[in-house]
Amino acid sequence: MEALESAWLGERVLASDELLVVDKPVHIPVHGGGDEVGSVVERLTEYLTQRGEPARLGVQHRLDQDTSGVLLFTRDPKLDREIALAFSQHGFSRVYLAVVDGTGLSDSGSMHCRLSALERGRVRVVSEGGKMARTRYRVLSRVGSRALVELRPETGRTHQLRVQLAQLGAPIVGDRLYGGAAAWRLMLHAHSLEVLGRRFEAELPPEFETALRQTAPRRSPEQLRGRLRDAFNLRHSLTAQGDALRLVNGFGDGLPGIEVDHFSGWLVLALSTQDSEDRREEIVDLLMQLGAKGVYTKCRRRADQRKVDRDQAAPAEPDSGVAAPSPLWVQHGDLRLPVWLDGGMSTGLFLDQRRNRAVVRRMAAGKAVLNLFCYTGAFSVAAAAGGARQITSVDLSGRALERARLSMAQTAPDLDARFIKEDVFHYLGHAKRQGERFDLIVLDPPSFGTRGRRSTFSVDKDYGRLAQQCLELLGPGGSLLAVTNHRKTSLGRLRRVLREAVAAAGRTPMQMKDARNGADFPDGPDGPEPSKSVWIRLA
């Protein structure tokens, strides 16, 4: 898949001579980024090297990670001083476009204020000190309370445009930091740059129009293909960590109702809205054009799953391409695990827990580990790979436990591993009566499920009690990983439930820390999607 394998997309190069000018996508920092995303500089260096071209780049200006648009580098060192001088003496012109929400802007004007230095991720308007920031603006169009605004900054302060617009009561849509309305991205775009007599322009992304009009995004086939390619390319650096990862995460990638998971060249397409289902054939065709070996489709519109025709909603055969082996063994981080693409609605592996599994592996050496709602045992395998002395895996599904045994047999066939088919509540009560103690417990229940013929489980009514019982089984210094993928449970609410559980269990926490999802699971408008995770370490 070219978009996944390439460090940079060729169509995003605006000029390549003594200058390298690109149309930067959102979510990629100019510098830094680490192994999860990689920076623009790192990616362009790799891109040029792959093309057999000199990879030397002079960084002349920057854009925020969540701002898209024109970004310039020098390739000829003779231009470094001239370009730097032009930027320092304002011998250049920049135009940004933004969608804002609020009534604080007149049709045109200027914004002048003093801004503090960046502190704890934010910049403030100050009456004294700081640095002066100046911006001219012009409203291009209005729809209700929203406006498309042209911005011409005369200074280059950190977060300048974002802070100034928020100060006027018209924050940029998608700007969580400064009070903007919810959106999948910051609606700020570096539209054009003029320097040394040359002008470079990056076309306004289509999502700005839908943000302005507050309409559901309906991308043309060409726009849909472009957004898929950008989402795939964003994950390029993750391929070094394995061949199982999420390529598209719905709203977080600007493609609501569409999720795409990658398993060693095969793709699993999950559709959860009527619009995405209506475009199923078109999306499958695009994924095949982008290099998939085969595409399996799962239709997951919210409904009572007990009444869904599973064969129709999740066919065992791919919609297009060749069938994958069953099971298909994939590399997920440091773990080798099986998946079943023909196995109904789920594949047997939840990709969003990659980072948490890596932490479990690092912590597990010499410990007794309990994996509740273990499903196919990926957390148990992580603990085994990390050198756990004992692992207990509990689930009510016999089929899931058989698959967990298969996974464990490949990693640690001689380990003291117990697989228990039992309702988790019953198991926890029994374990407490028997005086069992664990050093590390993983609690990752489904949002809703059956506990037998007459009983059900739901996050709303049962999670706190479960967490309390887990905390009661932890030994001194023990750790609990608490996870939920319940969409109506925010990270803040999960923290509150866990604090109550700690108090009810009579335990003393040394640490309660949120776990970040990987780069293949960008946040939605309300925070992490789909799963929220918190680590608790006891005294």
Residues marked active site are found at: 64
* CA–CA distance, 155 with 372 (Å, rounded to integer): 55
Among left, alpha and beta (phi > 0; psi -120 to 50; other), residue 14 is: alpha
H or E stretch including 133?
A: strand 131-143
Strand ranges (DSSP E) for 180-235? 188-195, 198-201
Strands (DSSP E) contained in 345-471 are 368-372, 390-395, 417-421, 438-443, 448-450, 456-458
Under 8 Å between Cβ of 39 and 28: yes
Q: Which alpha helices (DSSP H) does 296-367 contain, by range?
A: 310-313, 354-363
The residues pairing with 269 across neighbouring beta strands, listed in sequence order, are: 260, 297
DSSP state, residue 267: E
DSSP class of residue 52 equals T
CA distances from 426 to 280, 421, 450, 469 (A): 42, 11, 13, 11
Scan for tokens 């260096």, then name that residue.
45
SS3 sequence of 84-115:
HHHHHCCCEEEEEEEEEECCCCCCEEEEEEEE
Q: Which two tokens stand for residue 272?
A: 């959860």
Name residue 480's amino acid. Answer: L
CA distance 495 to 301: 28
